[in-house]
Amino acid sequence: VRIETVWKTFHPDLDRVEAEIRHHLHSDAAIIPEVGAYLLEGGGKRVRPLLSLLAARLCGFERESLYTLAAIVEYLHTASLLHDDVVDMAQLRRGHAAANSIWGNQVCVSVGDYFYAMALHLAVAEDSLEIMEILSAATAYMVKGELLQMAHTKDVQTNRAQYEGIITCKTANLMAAACALPAVAAGVAEPLKEGLRAFGRHLGIAFQMVDDTLDYVADEERLGKLVGKDLMEGKVTLPLILLLQEATAADRARVGEIILKDNLEPHDLQEVILLLGRYEILDACLAVSGDHVRQAKEALAPFPESEARAACFALADYVVERDL
């Protein structure tokens, strides 16, 4: 199964998620639909809602509430992006000016708060303590992930375990939740639920590793974000961690110097990109993320072979093959 086929197959369902997202955007506080529509209608791959739809298909879950759950997950993601772009002082998001550069930090933090709270509020209607537990924990983890990341800004000692801890919190737990929710709502057996959750977690870890790799090598136009921003933001992510580990003492010192610099110049980024190439770090990053894709697929072993499972595998492969 090819990922294009998966997107096409789930297009009608994703449209229903879109309708649900749009529905909850209405508010008489005009700034909420204004900022919300700008972000939500400005693109976004909708990977997390697709995860929920795939998980639902695997569990045979077809109730109407699926679309609400998928919309909730996208709202939590949107809230985290609003906050993330304030924290990162980002300029571009989804190929357009980042919301914070248009409306300012106060508005974006508050609209982000609103989306977080509104998403959890919507979940109450599902009348399931387990669903509330999953969503509220994922929300807390996302914020914790951002805080851990801040604590490691420009920290050249950041190791793989710390990095994986951060990305599990900020990205993987929400994807795990996106997969687990339909399983919970469908009431499937524990091993199936656990399998889906692990699938989402490993997929999320791989997804963030690829995001961190693309940050150095992507086509800016396609990615819709500025290349090299992680270095500028002092984020010590997988490419830098592996580079610092592989480089000679002299190169390591040079990379360390660049990370600590206050005002990066274009040639600093070029130098890091050159070294990433010389030490074949991008291949190494793809190998590490590929290993998580493998583990993600393994986690679905409790499910019998099916079209839905093949679609999950295609999405897992897409995560490491994507260029945006």
Does 208 bind ligand IPE (CB under 6 A)? Our answer is yes
- Interatomic CA distance for residues 169 and 313, integer angstroms: 23
Question: 17 vs 40, 53, 67, 119, 158, CA distance in Å?
Answer: 12, 9, 5, 14, 38
In the bound complex, what is the minimum distance in angstroms from residue 278's beta carbon to Mg ion?
Answer: 23
User: Burial, 322: exposed, middle or buried (Cβ in 10 Å; 0-12, 13-18, 19+)?
Assistant: middle
Cβ-based nearer residue to ligand IPE, 13 or 88: 88
* Residue 170 interface partner, choices Mg ion, ligand IPE, none, CB cut-off 5-8 Å depending on type: ligand IPE
Choice from 25, 32, 35, 47 touching ligand IPE (CB under 6 A): 47
Choice from 211, 236, 288, 314 touching Mg ion (CB under 5 A): 211
The SS3 assignment for 93 reads strand
Cβ-based nearer residue to ligand IPE, 101 or 128: 101
Residue type at position 50: L
Does 45 bind ligand IPE (CB under 6 A)? Our answer is yes
Instruction: Count interface residues toward Mg ion (CB under 5 A).
Output: 4
Does 88 bind Mg ion (CB under 5 A)? Our answer is yes
Question: 203 vs 120, 194, 278, 297, CA distance in Å?
Answer: 23, 14, 28, 9
In the bound complex, what is the minimum distance in angstroms from residue 160's beta carbon to Mg ion?
Answer: 18
Count Cβ atoms below 10 Å from residue 3 Cβ, excluding itself.
Answer: 17
Is the CB of residue 102 less than 8 Å from the CB of residue 92? no
Does 146 bind Mg ion (CB under 5 A)? Our answer is no
- Interatomic CA distance for residues 166 and 149, integer angstroms: 6
Site for ligand IPE in 157-196 (CB under 6 A): 170-171
- Interatomic CA distance for residues 295 and 273, integer angstroms: 29
Quick one: CA dihedral 292, 214, 262, 151, positive or negative? negative
Choice from 18, 88, 126, 268 touching ligand IPE (CB under 6 A): 88
In the bound complex, what is the minimum distance in angstroms from residue 205's beta carbon to Mg ion?
Answer: 14
Choice from 94, 152, 202, 309 touching ligand IPE (CB under 6 A): 94
Residue 70 structure tokens: 């998928």
Does 84 bind Mg ion (CB under 5 A)? Our answer is yes
Stretch that binds ligand IPE, among 9-17, 43-51, 192-200, 284-292 (CB under 6 A): 43-51
Cβ-based nearer residue to ligand IPE, 186 or 214: 214
Contacts with Mg ion by CB under 5 A lie at: 84, 88, 211, 215
Contacts with ligand IPE by CB under 6 A lie at: 44-45, 47, 80-81, 84, 88, 90, 94, 170-171, 208, 211, 225
